[in-house]
Structure 1
Amino acid sequence: MTEAGATAPGRQRAGRPRRPRSAARRIAVLVGVLVLLGLPPWWTLFGAAGWPRPVVVGGAVAILGWLVAFPFLMLAGHRPDRRDDRAARVADTGLGVMWVLFTCSVLGALADAVLGLLDVGGAGRVVAVAVALLAAAVLAWGHHEAMRVPRVREVEVHLPRLGAGLDGTRVVVLADTHYGPIDRAAWSARVTAAVNVLDPDLVVHAGDIADGTPEQRREQSAPLGAVRARLARVYVTGNHEYGSEAQGWLDRMAELGWEALHNRHLVLERGGDRLVVAGVDDVTAESSGLAGHRTDLSGALAGADPELPVLLVAHQPKFVPQAAAAGVDLQISGHTHGGQIWPFHHLVRLDQPVLQGLSHHGERTRLYTSRGTGFWGPPFRVFAPSEISLLTLRQERDSSHRPG
């Protein structure tokens, strides 16, 4: 998810030779994570439930089989030269199922412990059945939430430097569509229709458009060409583009009629007032080694009138300190997915300053973080609904409503 100033790929800092990571260490970490993920489901569903031995052994074999197969499925399904998405679909779905089972099993184990303290006998099997039913319900609901057309989330954003002519400007935000192994071309067309109903002045795609190359995801991305906006449609790269032909995605979006804000800006005019709309490459761009790709805010704003308000599109919320230092009025980001599957949001907050929504940074800068339009990997969303964001820019604000 490398900040500006990182050492260029293939080069080392003087006096600090790079130490290669041990393959054995990486394997040990992977095994540890998989065991941690699989042990609670086995214990809650089988080990502590008092089932007959064949059931307990069968459960252990099933979970162990998945744990062994998972790394190979991920490698086969997500390698850059893949030609078939079936392995990725199995791996991604299995990961989501196991994560939900892990969470429900931990909650079940806690419930079992409480029942044990209350001296309630024979609770193990009841807890096991309850956990299985809860996990099944959560997975069914989470899959529905992931595959549906996102709800529209409307937010007013007050920008003190906004000109009167720009008051009421409608900005629709898409982010993290992640066109991928599950064919969502029809879903993409429905999202486009939902955007067009909103009659936006500006449409922003804040990155992570796909998992796969432009050619692999050509059909799924095609409906973006039908998105309508009065003033402009703009796009920036996310971190996932740098694993699947980032420059190709910039070219593909240009082919579809979108302005690729590759460390550059454009100026929009409405009602006699102007707004600078700038974009930067994702913070992982430089470490990708792709020529001409890096996060360059100075380059993006070069030549812009410093008196004009600035809307900056940067994929990751953690770029906001740089945006605030540069006096940006509004940064639009995605990347977090709102956590996507609860309680994963706790891990996201270790890496990002904001999970979702509108926040205030410094004296001037507002940050809007979208929960994302699609999903990454596991086709589930749990307590983190997807969204099509409709931001209405307003000239003034009541200080009593200032975000904390």
Structure 2
Amino acid sequence: MLIHIYISRRFIAHLDIKPAQKFYFRIFLLVNFFGIIGYMLGRYYIDFPNWLYFLFSLPIGVLFLLFCTAIIYDISRAILKKTKLSKKRRDFFKRSLDISSLALASTLSAKAIYNASDIKLEKVEVNIKKLKKSYKIAQLSDIHIGGLIDKAFMKDMVQRVNALRVDLVVITGDLVDIEIKRARDILAELGHLKSTYGTFFVAGNHEYFHDIAKIIQTLKGLDIRVLENENVYIGNEDEGFNLAGVYDVFGYRTNTYVPDINKALSTLKESPTVLLAHQPRYIDEVTDSVDLMLSGHTHGGQLFPFMFLVRLQQPYISGLHQHNNELQIYVNKGTGFWGPPMRLGASSEITEITLVPSKL
């Protein structure tokens, strides 16, 4: 509500438009506010039709972009007041600012909605020391089943992954974001994933909100290997790699399903190690025995400039990074989205990661 008030008083009130237009703009803000309430109800309590849920989902993203526009407008208007220009020139620049601000908010909102429907395939090659042969991994993350992430979405995603013909599929958390009884039919589509060594999963923070025990049990029933502070060996003897996984750091708050890196890395074979951990900030607990960490959680910021706030909490936002001499990390921007079906400056992705023997 405070953001709505700010937009009304610091943006709408100063626009050089007719009083009737300002009135309709404020009505739009009011509808936006109730849309956000509708979204929260649909997310957790009421099973709305998809078309209605879509309409309720938009206001959060639209509000965020309007708020950012209002801040830029407010600052620009203050600077314009300080400039030594004639009244005629100042009025001209003020009208230009009004028009460009409204156009910017409208254009960015439309572009963000369009971007959310476009899941890009990101191809990444990672050099791994002591690896003896190449392996291809499909990484999915932050799908957030619920609302607009439905059975049709999952079916299309599974088909795209299967077309890659990978050695294994990994899902790095935040898969389910509704009650498990509402998600089971959608999750069943994951049973159609095809790869040489199977599908592997680690919990994200949102799993803790929706009965993590039942989610894990359901995934195991789909023949998905859930890595619970443990590791498995991928590949033939002496030419494969260790795949380890830990619970999310949210477990520290609940004192249940707590991540344990020492347990996850116990009894490793003398081969490279890939670790699945939902949040990039868990990298501070990772030992030198890990060669590559795969994470998600950040959504790449999802809506610019939100990634600057995410950067305050997470050391990496997206892409491949060399953390130290031994350890690399890849952060998936999310295959789905949370909240509004909008993305700006951070596309949804399916990641095809090829592990290759290092030439060094």
TM over 0.5: yes
Q: Aligned runs of 1:104-183 on 2, under 5 Å?
A: 104-113=69-78, 117=83, 118=85, 119-148=89-118, 150-162=119-131, 164=132, 167-183=133-149
Q: Give the superposition deviation at 1:252.
A: 1.9
User: d(CA) in 2 for partners of 1:271 and 1:138?
Assistant: 52
1:76 and 2:38 aligned: no
Deviates more, 1:34-43 or 1:137-146: 34-43
Alignment size in residue pairs: 353
1:396 and 2:358 aligned: yes
Deviates more, 1:110-119 or 1:130-139: 110-119
1:361 and 2:323 aligned: yes
In structure 2, the partner of 1:299 is: 263
Match of 1:218, as an amino acid? Answer: R
SS in 2 for 1:347: helix
In structure 2, the partner of 1:198 is: 164
8 Å CA contact 1:202–1:233 kept in 2: the answer is yes
8 Å CA contact 1:373–1:387 kept in 2: the answer is yes
Identical-residue share of aligned pairs (%): 28
Q: Give the superposition deviation at 1:89.
A: 5.1
CA deviations on 1:26-81 (whole Å, 9 max, x unpaired) are xxxxxxxx42465136533x2112333343344345435644x46744653444xx
8 Å CA contact 1:73–1:90 kept in 2: the answer is no
8 Å CA contact 1:358–1:368 kept in 2: the answer is yes
* TM-score, normalised by the number of residues in structure 1: 0.80
In structure 2, the partner of 1:317 is: 280
* TM-score, normalised by the number of residues in structure 2: 0.89
8 Å CA contact 2:35–2:57 kept in 1: the answer is no
Deviates more, 1:255-264 or 1:109-118: 109-118
**RMSD, aligned CA:** 2.4
Shift >6 Å, 4+ stretches: none
Match of 2:109, as an amino acid? Answer: L
Q: Aligned runs of 1:166-315 on 2, under 5 Å?
A: 167-270=133-236, 272-290=238-256, 293-305=257-269, 307-315=270-278
Question: Judging changes above 3 Å, is the alpha-carbon distance between structure 1 residues 180 and 319 closer, same or farther for their aligned structure 2 residues?
Answer: same
Match of 1:367, as an amino acid? Answer: I
Match of 1:339, as an amino acid? Answer: G
User: d(CA) in 2 for partners of 1:370 and 1:157?
Assistant: 14
Match of 2:267, as an amino acid? Answer: G
Match of 1:197, as an amino acid? Answer: A
User: d(CA) in 1 for partners of 2:9 and 2:189?
Assistant: 43
1:377 and 2:339 aligned: yes
Match of 1:106, as an amino acid? Answer: I
Unaligned runs of 5+ in 1: 1-33, 399-404
